[in-house]
Chains A and B, each alone.
Chain A
Amino acid sequence: MLDVIRGVLSFSFYEGLVFGLVAIGVYLTLRVLAFPDLTVDGSYTLGGATAAVLIVAGVHPFLATLAAVGAGLCAGLMTGLLNTKLRLPALLAGILMMVGLYSINLRIMSGANVSLLREVTTFDKVAGFLGLRSGSIEVSIIVALVLAGIVFFLLNWFLHTEIGLTLRATGDNEQMVRGLGVNTDMTTILGVSVANGLVALAGAVVAQGQGFADVGMGIGMIVMGLASVIIGESLFRPRGVARLLLTAIGGAFVYRLFITIALRLGMAPGDLKLITAVLVIIALAIPYIKKKLRHEWIPPAVRW
Chain B
Amino acid sequence: MKRKGLSVFLGSLCLVLIALLFMPGCAAEEKVYKVCITQIATHPDLDSNRQGIIDAMAEEGFVEGENVEFIIRNAEGDMTTAASIADYFVSLEPDLIQAITTPSAQTVVAAAEGTDIPIIFSSVTDPIAAGLVPSWEEAAPHVTGVSDWFEMPPQVEFILSVLPNIKVLGTAYNPGEVNAAVQAQILKEVAPDYGLTVVEATAASTADVYAAGMSLVGRCDAVWIPTCNTVGGVGIESIIQVGEENHLPIFGSAVGMIGKGLVGGCSVDYYWIGKQAGYMAAKILRGKDIADIPPMKSAVSTVVYPAAAARMGITIPQAVIDKADIVLED
Contact = CB atoms under 8 A, between A and B. Distances in A.
Given A11-B84, A210-B82, A237-B5, 6 more contacts: A111-B178, A113-B129, A117-B106, A235-B8, A260-B84, A261-B19
Contacts of B176: 102, 106, 112, 215-216
B161 interface: no
Interface in A71-95: none
B9 interface: yes
A103 to B, nearest CB: 8
A4 B129 CA distance: 34
A164 interface: no
A259 B83 contact: no
A254 B15 CA distance: 13
Interface in B103-119: 103, 106-107, 109-111, 113-114
Sort A-B residue pairs by CB-CB distance and give the 10 closest, nearest first.
Answer: A211-B110, A115-B131, A135-B113, A117-B131, A269-B74, A112-B178, A212-B106, A113-B178, A7-B91, A217-B79
Interface stretch (B21-29, B251-259, B277-285, B314-322): B21-29
A1 B24 CA distance: 11
Contact of B84 (A15, A112, A236, A237): A15
Nearest to A271: B76
Interface string A132-170: 011111000000000000000000000000000000000
A54 interface: no
Contacts of B87: 11, 137
Interface string B57-90: 0000000000000010111111111111111100
Contacts of A260: 84, 88
Given A209-B83, A211-B109, A259-B81, A235 B76 contact: no
A116 B131 CA distance: 7
Nearest to A14: B87
Contacts of A137: 87
Q: How large is the interface on B (under 10, 10 to 19, 20 to 34, 35 or more residues)?
A: 35 or more
B12 interface: yes
B21 A237 contact: no
B102 to A, nearest CB: 6
Contacts of B178: 111-113, 214
Contact of A5 (B20, B22, B42): B20
Q: Which of A116, A212, A234 has the most chain B CB atoms closer than 10 A to its own CB?
A: A212
Contacts of B88: 260, 263-264
A146 B84 CA distance: 21
Given A4-B23, A237-B1, A135 B103 contact: no
A264 B129 CA distance: 31
Given A1-B26, A216-B77, A269 B83 contact: no
Contacts of A266: 24, 71, 73
Given A4-B91, A102-B204, A211 B131 contact: yes
Interface string A96-133: 00000010001000011101111100000000000001
Contacts of A118: 131
A113 B12 contact: no
A1 B16 CA distance: 13
B21 A211 contact: no
A298 interface: no
A111 B79 CA distance: 17
Nearest to B174: A112
B216 interface: no
B147 to A, nearest CB: 14
B132 interface: yes
A8 interface: yes
A240 interface: no
A69 interface: no
A237 B204 CA distance: 41
A248 B80 CA distance: 18
B177 interface: yes
A265 interface: yes
B327 interface: no
Q: Which of B22, B78, B81, B82 has the most chain A CB atoms closer than 10 A to its own CB?
A: B78
B130 interface: yes
A113 B177 CA distance: 8
Nearest to B24: A266
A115 B73 CA distance: 23
A219 B88 CA distance: 22
Contacts of A8: 20
B133 to A, nearest CB: 10
Contact of B79 (A1, A216, A254, A261): A216
Contacts of B80: 15, 19, 206, 217, 220, 224
Nearest to B102: A113
A245 interface: no
B2 interface: yes
A135 B114 contact: yes
Contacts of B132: 115, 117
B93 to A, nearest CB: 10
Interface string B166-185: 00000000011110011000
Contacts of B9: 235-236, 254
